[in-house]
Amino acid sequence: MSVKEKFLDYVSYDTQSDSSSTTMPSTMKQKLLAQHLADEMVAMGIEDAHMDEWGYVYGTIPANCEKKNVIGFIAHMDTAEEVSGANVKARVIENYDGEDIVLNKELGIVTDVENFPILKKFKGKTLIVTDGTTLLGADDKAGVAEIMQAAEDIIKNNLPHGEIHIAFTPDEEIGAGPDKFDVKGFGCDFAYTLDGGELGGLDYENFNGTSAEVEITGRSVHPGSAKNKMINASRVAMEFASLLPSREVPENTEGYEGFAHLNNMEGDVEHAHLHYIIRDHDRDLLEARKDKFNLAAEFINRKYGLELVKVTLKDAYSNMKEMILPHQEILDVARTAMRKNGVEPVTTPIRGGTDGARLSFMGLPCPNLCTGGELAHGRNEFAVLEEMETIVEIVKSIAELVE
């Protein structure tokens, strides 16, 4: 199989994770792809490949030459909550003409150049898109496919390499990917996650990430006699949201600018719930953003004279920069591997998180590499086949170049 065939196979599995779940993995359907990958790894000659009880997949390619370092490659299997990953109908567009892509004529779903000008960069390339009813799953099944293809090539062609460890994780999209990751058993000196975007990406800065759960308790009274008695939790929720900075949201920010993102809301008169993610590259600025949530709750509770609003903040991951920079040799190997394959490395701050962020703080330095996927977490997501093929070569070069 080629990397394209592998990718099309993997995206056919529904692996959407669920932040409301209390199990690990959060959805058992992730284990279906996990077992499939483990079986495929065994078939290609990775004898110890297996899925553990938590849904993680591990495997080892023994060294065929002497190397000082043991390296790892990691990607996640789950897809984001925002859009369904079930019944993905992928379509391959060869020699893309650079114009708007009609994903679904009947539903009027289009990936248009006006709103997505990045499309112009890929004229003449082979794009893999959806039918507009689901996301594609390039985040991060492109990374999975690239690691699998590189592993197959290394084994089949007996390419020179030291000991290589491979891992595929569940639940990255809900911040739980490293929760049960066996760093000690993985046994690597360092690793790379393949969970980035456009070709050339070599990332070692990411957001500090926090979630905020806002619970609001109201009081229901018949609307005909509600004056000075009813407290409408849904309206209080709107009031709470209005107290946060209106411009500091994802749709208005870029680069190093942080935000608070209202990811989900639901409610009625008696109860309302708001789910936010809070992000900033600077730890002090993140703490200031968290303080604004507590201050908004305190203001409303004082205003009504009741404990209507409760805010629960939970840190998810931290900026891995401080853990990566002391290990410049990891970045140097990746840069050399990219340039060997005609790619100039580009480092930008990740406006999100990866498994590598937490793994770096767990003792496994783990910068992030590109995958060739674009517009993740939405119906307009696509992957660029030529970039995926080049990334396979970059992974193989890293395996060869590492000392």
Residue 352: predicted pLDDT? 83
Do residues 172 and 355 touch, judged by C-beta distance below 8 A?
Answer: yes
β 259-267/271-280 pair status? antiparallel
What pTM, to 2 d.p., does this model score? Answer: 0.87
- Give the Cα separation of 122 and 384 in Å (integer): 8
Residue 205 backbone dihedrals phi, psi, to 5 degrees: -125, 135
Read off the DSSP letter of residue 27. Answer: S
Say if residue 213 carries a ligand binding annotation.
no
Residue 247: predicted pLDDT? 96
Torsion angle of the four alpha carbons 249, 252, 258, 261, in this order, in degrees rounded to the nearest 10: 20
DSSP string, 105-142: TTTTEEE-TTT-GGGGGGTTS-EEE--SSS---HHHHH
Structural domains of the chain, with CATH: 3-206+319-401 (3.40.630.10), 208-317 (3.30.70.360)
Name the nearest CA neighbour of 379 among 179, 101, 156, 7: 101
Residue 289: predicted pLDDT? 98
Bridge partners of 74, per DSSP, are 167, 193
The pLDDT tens digits for 210-226 are 999 999 999 999 999 99
Residue 317: predicted pLDDT? 87
**53 exposure class (CB count in 10 Å sphere: 0-12, 13-18, 19+):** exposed
End-to-end CA distance of the chain: 30
Say if residue 273 carries a ligand binding annotation.
no
- Give the Cα separation of 246 and 284 in Å (integer): 20
Do residues 364 and 188 touch, judged by C-beta distance below 8 A?
Answer: yes
Do residues 335 and 202 touch, judged by C-beta distance below 8 A?
Answer: yes
| Type of residue at 346 | V
Residue 363 structure tokens: 């003792």
Say if residue 100 carries a ligand binding annotation.
no
- Give the Cα separation of 11 and 85 in Å (integer): 8
pLDDT by residue for the chain (403 residues), tens only, comes to: 899 999 999 999 999 999 999 999 999 999 999 999 999 999 999 999 999 999 999 999 999 999 999 999 999 999 999 999 999 999 999 999 999 999 999 999 999 999 999 999 999 999 999 999 999 999 999 999 999 999 999 999 999 999 999 999 999 999 899 999 999 999 999 999 999 999 999 999 999 999 999 999 999 999 999 999 999 999 999 999 999 999 999 999 999 999 999 999 999 999 999 999 999 999 999 999 999 999 999 999 999 999 999 999 999 889 999 999 999 999 999 999 999 999 999 998 989 878 999 999 999 999 999 999 999 999 999 999 999 999 999 999 999 999 9
Say if residue 131 carries a ligand binding annotation.
no
Q: How many CB atoms lie within 10 A of CB 180?
A: 16
Say if residue 139 carries a ligand binding annotation.
yes
Q: Which residues are catalytic?
A: 78, 172
